[in-house]
Amino acid sequence: MENAAIFGWALLWILFWGALGGVVTPRVYARKDLEISQASFGGAVIGAALGPFSLLPLWFATPKITSRLIGIAIAIVVGIFIAAFALADPDNLCVANGGFVISQLANGIVIGIIYGLMALGLTLIFSILGVVSFAHGEFYMIGGMVTYFMTAEWIPGVSPIIAILASCVVTFAIGYLFERIFLRPMGSGEIERPTEYAILVTFGLAFFLQYLTQALTSAVPVKAQRFFPFPRTEIPADSGALLKMTPGNVTVFDAISIPNPRFTAALLALMMLAALLWFLYRTWVGKALRAVSQDRQAAAVTGINPNSMNTLAFSMGAMLAGLSGASLVQVFSWLPQVGIPAAARSFVIIVLGGMGSLPGAFLGGLIVGLVEAAGTGCIPDATRAAAYIPAYGMVILTLVLLLKPTGLFGREL
Amino acid sequence: MLKLTSNSIYKNFGGLEVLKDVSFTVEGPELIGLIGPNGAGKTTLTNILDGALKPSSGTVYMNGERIDTRPPYGVARAGLGRTFQVTRAFRRMTVLENLLIPAMAMRATARQRDFEEKAQEVLEFLTISHLRNEYARALSGGQQKLLELGRLLMLDPQMIILDEPFAGVHPRLMDVIYRYITEINAQGKAFIIISHDMDTIFTLSRRLLVLNYGDLIADGDPEIVREDPLVKAAYLGEDEE
Amino acid sequence: MSPTRIYRVAGTITIVLLLLIPLASSELNGLGPLVLSSYFMHLAITAFFYAILASSWSLLAGYAGQFSFGHMAFMAIGGYTSGLIGKFIRFTTAPSELCTDIPLLGNWWLVILNIRRVGTIDESCLDMAKTQTLPAGTLIIFPPVWASIAMGLVMGAVFGLLVGWLVLRLRSTYLALFTIGFSEILRASISAEIPITEGQSGLELVPLFPAGIMGFTSTSKIPPYYAMLLLFLFAMALMTWLAGSRFGLFIRAIREDEEAAAALGVNIVRYKVLVFVITSTLAAAAGALQGHYIGIITPNTVIILQMSLVIAMAVIGGLENIYAASVGAIVITFALELLRTNITIGPLHVDMTLWRLVFFGLLLMLTLRFQRNGLLFPILERISRGRVAQETVSIRVESEELEEVVTEEEVALETEEEETQPASSEENPG
């Protein structure tokens, strides 16, 4: 990095005014008897955006802090961040090479879709049961393991579709059994302090599943073959300038290059997402689920059995994690521990998007996918940056929890 | 001598005005009933007096000290105790421990055994001394309510706010609570009692505050308040009284 | 015998036995037929280490209701602080000129070694100073181990204060997520800052007693055994006293109902922060001691699986009792080692090194589900409270007549309260 100082000072500037805005704004708003629920977070991002040039007008005019205002401020912060980075390191691939940037973006979005799908499962569970499943990563891991062993060891040559379906069935079944045995008693008042119980018992499940898989398989990393190789295609036929497909890769406009496994995984995820939305908004059971998430008692009065909705939500959430794992086992190498960072990522996503919010989870997934793509592609001093990668998401998580525990979307389904 | 003043309290939740310009003064060991239809802002007012909520504007003074800026434990130490609408005993602690908490919290250097005798007296007064070493969760709902009242006696405040002390209580326990209020009041502690039970509140209290959608519409002798046209209008069709 | 007396006698016997165990160790040629291997002594030290962690976590989670997943992070803070001081700080009788020198009293200097640059030859500035700037006869002294451990405790307390203050507004799930985030950030930073912490390869620490003590060498297990045992006993004594005093009363009240506790005059802010500070300091102390005993500390001690081991120990023993949690930790440490033996039943070969943790996980879940108070706590509870139950059974029958009648009115009231709840939490977040 050539002019690291520029970047450092820009970061310091953003942090300083952000912190000042976050601390002072609620006081200003409180003094004027205005609503302060958004003041801390809004003040922080607005301060981070333009420093004193935005904070002083904010404190004098004290407008209502709308989500649009916050959105604009966030966009400015991101813009400044990128500009400072470009100024500081003009030779970086992320600055100098447009094709590379677009490729990274596309890859970030593609992987973000899958992250979003996994987090969707977690947020579905939270919105119905009010529980964060700490075993979510293990369902993801099991989904991948089942798919790998089906296609590679048990029935070689079986269609990946069958393997993916099998992993769905397995994760759904484990989720079902676990919910029936361990979470169902929470509803009946048999268990005191249910929230803490749920944290610990899902934690125990994670521990159990992880070591069970390790005992059954081994600690050797595995990786599945790509499910659906692309046909070799070139459009136009001679140069492939518009679209060029090899079995392992697709290149569009000679610029955006996406590896086949990621592409198919994202496609699978999108199909699953469409199916999930159809299920939630068009079927009776899906509507019942949403009703329970909005008002448990009212839903119970209309004849919906909230207990069976709990079971359904938990098993479906587990299945969504399993499905993400099943589609990613051809992208990453797989170990019994692979669920831990994946779960951590899901926590970041749902906290960022707002616990229990479906659109929030999906958007959060995209953001985290993009940030990771930028992080791996753009940061110089690669070894050190790589070691910090697990921490970036966690920094987001802790900051959101401290500044705006409701996340981007609050709670809605 | 106790003096509690609430000066022009406003409270907004988002756009909703829950309290509008509520002012009143309590002087000496009064026995006040606070009534109003559902959603009138009674519990919000309690939470503001107790420090659990901050008013959007307005102040609360107790014996010359401003208390609306204090956290709830600061207000409790200033001499104001309260119960909650839904009973909130410390369920996995024994009855005795429940009682010791406020007593210990009030005095920085005291030891538990200094208060055990007083706790025993309180339990006998409330007719639950046999449950002394039981976990609070083993108590019936009514007994838990008595336990809450006992905790207030151990806190020994100058003023007590009871939120729905009679709701869903067996008639026999009701007598105990009734006796509790009158005797403790006679010992010089002021009471504000929130209740839906009109009969009890009219016979018990010597002054009535009526809240209606955030407005304090009446303040005075129960017999006079009962005939107030505003109060009648507020309750028409709301409650049978 | 009264329950207190039973506890006292049992406690004294246990302490005496624990103090006598080294006499039977192989280093001292055993006690008649009983010869405890040095591996057994190692396990005992590890067991005490986990017992301190599990019991202090039980004080934090079981008593105060703060389900933090950052306990191992505080442990690591203790270990790393002590290790880094040993690595980077020296006392000399003359300024080195090449390192950062801070003058102290007399002609002593505190020297902070330069951070090694990655990629260049690892040559300490002090080594260079020895040949270049330092006059002959200059004394160079390592910081004493006890002092660096003490600094580890201080750092544990400081971070405990910081985290405790930050999480004041966060409850249950959010607290769990925040503390997971905290420990992951710490772990990533330790792994990444290789020039300072040596990253994944681990930071080396000097032995607990570098020059040996009372005739024991620095590799003997007996001095570390007593050090860890004394820390364990001290921690238990401290926590026993705390749990029995106003502190214990108040943090349990906070666990049960924070708002009600505040309404009764309990300074909830002070006690919530305090419980974090105390338990973090104990964890840091255990971490520093264990670090010096093992001789190395790696970022892997902070991973979530390590944390779940401590949680499992506390839960299986009994989350809401520090004794149950510590006994649970000791029993499980030994049980996990005993279960390492492989089993072969006919053609079936079970590798127990893998399967023991599977069973352990299952036991954790089943304990949570069916024996919420742990496997040991109910026994202690029976000893101390059996009489209370008998006394009140008869009285219960009478008082059942007083059972309240839940009217529709109360149901209506409860829903009203629920409606006002979200509004109030918006206004006053947390």
Q: Is residue A153 part of a domain?
A: yes
Residues A177, A56, single domain; the answer is no
Q: Is A341 on the interface with C (CB under 8 A)?
A: no
Among B13, B38, B106, select the one facing C416 at the smallest CB separation: B38
- Establish if C52 belongs to a structural domain: yes
Note whether residue A408 is domain-resident: no
DSSP C301: G
**Boundary of a domain, candidates C305, C338, C371:** C338
Give C407's contacts in chain B (Cβ within 8 Å): 167-168
Q: Which of B56, B91, B92 sits opposite A33 (nearest CB)?
A: B56
Sign (positive or negative) of CA dihedral A116, A121, A124, A129: negative
pLDDT higher than 90, residue A18: no
* H or E segment and range at residue A271: helix A260-282
* Subunit contact A35:B10, Cβ cutoff 8 A: no
As a whole number of angstroms, the distance between CA B114 and CA B100 comes to: 10
pLDDT at C420: 40
Residue A412: inside a domain: no
Where does a domain end: A62, A90, A118?
A90
Sign of the C-alpha dihedral computed for residues B62, B66, B72 and B77 taken in this order: negative
Same domain flag for A161 and A66 = no
pLDDT at C93 over 60: yes
Do A112 and A27 belong to one domain?
no
User: Looking at chain C, which residue has its C-alpha nearest residue B131?
Assistant: C392
In angstroms, the CA B151 to CA A290 distance is 42
pLDDT at A413 over 60: no
Report the share of chain A in percent with pLDDT over 90. 16
Same domain, C21 and C66: yes
Asked whether residue A243 is assigned to any structural domain, the reply reads: no
pLDDT at C229: 94
- The verdict on a CB contact (< 8 Å) between A390 and C188 is yes
For residues C180 and C129, membership in a common domain is answered with no
The answer to whether the CB atoms of A207 and C361 lie below 8 A apart is: yes
- Provide the mean pLDDT of chain A: 83
Please give the pLDDT value at position A59: 84
In order, the DSSP letters of C144-175 are PHHHHHHHHHHHHHHHHHHHHHHGGG--HHHH
Å between A35 CA and nearest CA of chain B = 6
Structural contact between residues A383 and A376, judged by C-beta atoms closer than 8 angstroms: no
Q: Same domain for A55 and A113?
A: no
Strands C348-350 and C343-345 turn out to be antiparallel
Enumerate residues 6+ apart whose C-beta is below 8 A from A296. Answer: A306
C402 pLDDT higher than 50: no
CB A200 to CB C369 under 8 A?
Answer: no
pTM (two decimals): 0.86
Are residue A326 and residue A208 in the same domain, yes or no? Answer: yes
Name the minimum distance, in Å, from the CA of A67 to any CA of chain B.
Answer: 15
Q: Which of A167-176, A363-372, B221-230, C214-223 has the highest mean pLDDT?
A: A167-176
As to burial, measured by CB atoms within 10 angstroms (0-12 exposed, 13-18 middle, 19+ buried), residue A371 is middle
Cα B59-B63-B69 angle, rounded to 5 deg: 35
In C, minimum Cα distance to B167 occurs at C410
Q: What is the ipTM of this complex?
A: 0.88
Q: From CA B154, how far away is CA B119, in angstroms rounded? A: 7
Same domain flag for C243 and C176: yes
Partners of C203 in beta bridges: C297
- What is the mean predicted confidence (pLDDT) over C127-137? 76
Helix or strand holding residue C419 (H, E): helix C408-427
Of A54, A72, A90, which marks where a domain is finished?
A90
User: Is the same domain home to C105 and C203?
Assistant: no
Give the model's confidence band at A235: pLDDT under 50 very low, under 70 low, under 90 confident, else very high.
confident
Tell whether omega for the bond before B71 is within 30 degrees of 0, i.e. cis. Answer: no
Residues C121 and C236 in one domain: no
Q: Which domain holds residue A50?
A: 4-90
Residue C288 has pLDDT above 90, yes or no: yes
Among chain B residues, the shortest Cα distance to C394 is held by B130
Q: Which of C276, C230, C225, C219 is nearest to C63 (CA)?
A: C276
Question: Do residue A333 and residue A286 come from a single domain?
Answer: yes
C29 in B contact zone (CB under 8 Å) = no
A67: left (phi over 0), alpha (psi -120 to 50) or beta: alpha
Looking up tokens 């006698």 gives C9
**332-391 in chain C: CB under 8 A from chain B:** 385, 388, 391
Last residue of a domain, one of A90, A105, A136: A90
Higher pLDDT, B139 or C395: B139
Domain count, chain C: 2
Interface test with C, best of A126, A207, A210, A406 (most C CBs within 10 A): A207
pLDDT score for B58 = 87
pLDDT at B214: 85
Contact residues on chain C for A199, CB-CB shorter than 8 A: 67, 172-173, 176
Q: Quick one: tokens of A43?
A: 């003040």
User: Which residues in chain B have their CB less than 8 angstroms from residue A37's CB?
Assistant: 14
Q: Is the pLDDT of residue B50 over 60?
A: yes
More confident residue, C339 or B26: B26
Q: Are residues C212 and C326 in the same domain?
A: yes
Q: Are residues C196 and C271 in the same domain?
A: yes
Closest CA to C314 of A186, A203, A189, A195: A203
Q: Is B59 on the interface with A (CB under 8 A)?
A: no
Residue range A85-92: mean pLDDT, rounded: 76
A183 shares its domain with A310: yes
Neighbours of C (≥3 Cβ pairs closer than 8 A)? A, B
pLDDT of residue C1: 60
Partner C contacted by A199 (CB < 8 A): yes
CATH of residue A206's domain is 1.10.3470
CA-nearest residue to A179 within chain C is C369
Contact B57 A33 (CB under 8 A): yes
Q: How large is the average pLDDT for residues B54-64? A: 88
Question: To probe the interface with C, which of A41, A65, A188, A208 has the most C CB atoms within 10 Å?
Answer: A208
Q: Do both C13 and C116 map to the same domain?
A: no
**Closest Cβ opposite residue C264 in set B47, B105, B143:** B105
Query: Is A391 found in the same domain as A367?
Result: yes
| Per-residue pLDDT tens digits for A327-366 | 888 888 888 888 888 888 899 898 888 887 888 888 889 9
Indicate whether C326 belongs to any domain.
Answer: yes
Kindly state whether residue C425 falls inside one of the protein's structural domains.
Answer: no
- C407 vs A3, residue with greater confidence: A3
Same domain, A161 and A20: no
In this predicted structure, the answer to whether residue B181 has a pLDDT above a threshold of 60 is: yes
Containing structural domain, residue C103: 94-138
Q: Which residues on A lie below 8 Å from B137 (Cβ)? A: 192
A135–chain B nearest CA distance, Å: 29
Residue C116 sits in the same domain as residue C151: no
Judging by beta carbons within 10 Å of its beta carbon (0-12, 13-18, 19+), is residue C385 exposed, middle or buried? middle
pLDDT at residue C390, rounded to an integer? 57
Q: Give the per-residue pLDDT at B190.
A: 92
> Which of A188-192, A342-346, A394-398 shows the lowest mean pLDDT across its residues?
A188-192
pLDDT at residue C8, rounded to an integer:
83
Chain A residue nearest residue C351, CA to CA? A215
Judge whether residue C119 has pLDDT over 60: no
What pLDDT score was predicted for residue C117? 60
For residue A284, tell me if it sits in a domain: yes
Q: Give the pLDDT confidence of C53-76 residue by residue, as tens digits.
A: 999 999 999 899 999 999 999 999
pLDDT at C393 over 60: no
- How many structural domains are present in chain A? 2
The per-residue pLDDT for B129 is 85
C75 lies in the same domain as C180: yes
The predicted-structure confidence for C332-352, as pLDDT tens digits, reads as follows 999 888 887 777 777 777 777
Confidence label for C118 from pLDDT (cuts 50, 70 and 90): low
